[in-house]
Chains A and B, each alone.
Chain A
Amino acid sequence: MKTDIQVRVNGVMESRQVEGNQTLLSFLRDTLDLTGAKEGCNEGECGACVVLLDGVAVNSCLVLAAEVDGHSVTTIEGLGDGDDLHPLQQAFLKHHAVQCGFCTPGVILTSISLLEQNRNPSEQEIREALSGNLCRCTGYRQIIDAIREVAK
Chain B
Amino acid sequence: MKTPKTPAVVGQDIQRVDGLSKVTGASKYTGDLKFPRMLYAQVVRSPHPHARVLNVNLDRAARAPGVCAVASGRDFPFHVGIYLKDQTVFATDRVRYVGDPVAAVAAETPAAAREAAELVEVEYEPLEAIYDVQQGIQPDAPRVHPDLGDYECVPWITPKEGTNICNHLKVRKGDYQGALKSCVEVVENTFEVPQVQHVPMEPHISVARVDRAGKVEVHTSAQSPFTVRHLLCACFNLSHGDVRVSVPTVGGGFGGKAGINLEPIAVALAMRARGRWVRVMVDRSEEFYAVVVRQGLTATLVTGVDREGRVQAQKMHYLWNCGAYGGYGVNVVRAAGYTCGGAYEFPNVWGDSIGVYTNRPVGSAYRGFGMQEIHWALERQMDLVAGRIGMDPAEFRLKNCLGPGKQTVTGQVLDEHSGRVDLCIRKVEERLRADRRTDPGDGLIRGRGMACAVKAPAMPNDAASAVILKFCEDATLEVLISGTDIGQGLQTVSAQFAAEALDLPVEKVRVRGQPDTDLSPYDWQTVASRQTWATGNAILRAAEKIKEQLFSVAAEVLGVDPGRLALRDQAVVDPDTGRSIPLVRLVMGYQYEDGHAIGGPVAAHDSYLPEGLLFLDPETSQSAKPVAKWTFGAQGVEVSLDPRTGQYKVDRVVACYDVGRVIHPGLIRGQVYGGVVQGLGTGMMEELKLDEKSGRVVNASLMDYKIPTASDVPGVMEAHFVETPQADGPFGARGVGEHTMIPTPAAVANALGDACGIQLKEMPITAERVWRALNRREDPK
Contact = CB atoms under 8 A, between A and B. Distances in A.
Asked if A and B bind, the verdict is yes
Interface of A: 29, 33-36, 38-43, 45-46, 48, 75-77, 79-82, 85, 89, 92-96, 98-105, 108, 126-128, 130-144
Nearest to B202: A102
Given A93-B16, A136-B254, A136-B678, A100 B24 contact: no
B81 interface: no
Contacts of B674: 99, 136-139
B20 A101 contact: no
Given A40-B202, A45-B702, A139 B673 contact: yes
B34 interface: yes
Interface stretch (B379-387, B510-518, B584-592, B710-718): B710-718
Contacts of A98: 16, 19, 22-23
Contacts of B254: 136
B201 interface: yes
Contact of B201 (A40, A76, A89): A40
A130 B712 CA distance: 11
24 contacts: A35-B31, A36-B25, A40-B201, A41-B702, A45-B702, A46-B702, A76-B23, A77-B25, A79-B24, A81-B24, A82-B24, A93-B19, A93-B23, A98-B22, A100-B202, A100-B249, A101-B251, A108-B23, A133-B710, A135-B710, A137-B252, A138-B674, A139-B676, A139-B717
- Nearest 4 pairs of A and B residues by beta carbon: A36-B25, A102-B251, A100-B487, A101-B22
B430 to A, nearest CB: 22
A93 B488 CA distance: 14
Contacts of B417: none
B249 A101 contact: yes
B28 interface: yes
A25 B637 CA distance: 41
Contacts of B675: 139
Interface stretch (B52-60, B664-672, B721-729, B750-758): B664-672
Given A101-B487, A104-B23, A136-B707, A96 B713 contact: no
A101 B703 CA distance: 22
B199 interface: yes
Interface string B10-26: 00010110111111110
Nearest to B667: A96
A96 B670 CA distance: 7
A132 B701 CA distance: 14
A76 B24 contact: yes
Contacts of B713: 127, 139-141, 144
Contacts of B23: 76, 85, 89, 92-93, 98, 101, 104, 108
Interface of B: 13, 15-16, 18-25, 27-29, 31-32, 34, 198-203, 249-254, 283-284, 486-489, 666-667, 669-670, 672-678, 701-703, 707-711, 713, 717
Contacts of A92: 19, 23
B28 A35 contact: yes
Contacts of A94: 15
Contacts of B672: 139
A35 B710 contact: no
Nearest to A35: B32
A134 B678 CA distance: 12
Nearest to A97: B670
Nearest to B653: A139
Contact of B487 (A40, A99, A130, A132): A99
Given A139-B675, A141-B717, A100 B486 contact: yes
A16 B672 CA distance: 46
A91 to B, nearest CB: 9
B27 A101 contact: yes
Contacts of A40: 201-203, 284
Nearest to B710: A130
B19 A142 contact: no
B703 A45 contact: yes
B252 A134 contact: no
Contacts of A136: 198-201, 252, 254, 674, 678, 707
A117 to B, nearest CB: 17
A141 B718 CA distance: 11
Contacts of B677: 138-140
B487 A137 contact: yes
A133 B667 CA distance: 21
Given A40-B202, A100-B201, 5 more contacts: A35-B28, A42-B284, A43-B284, A96-B16, A134-B702
B485 to A, nearest CB: 8
B25 A102 contact: no
Contacts of A133: 709-710
- Max chain B C-beta neighbours (<10 A), residue from A33, A40, A141, A144: A141
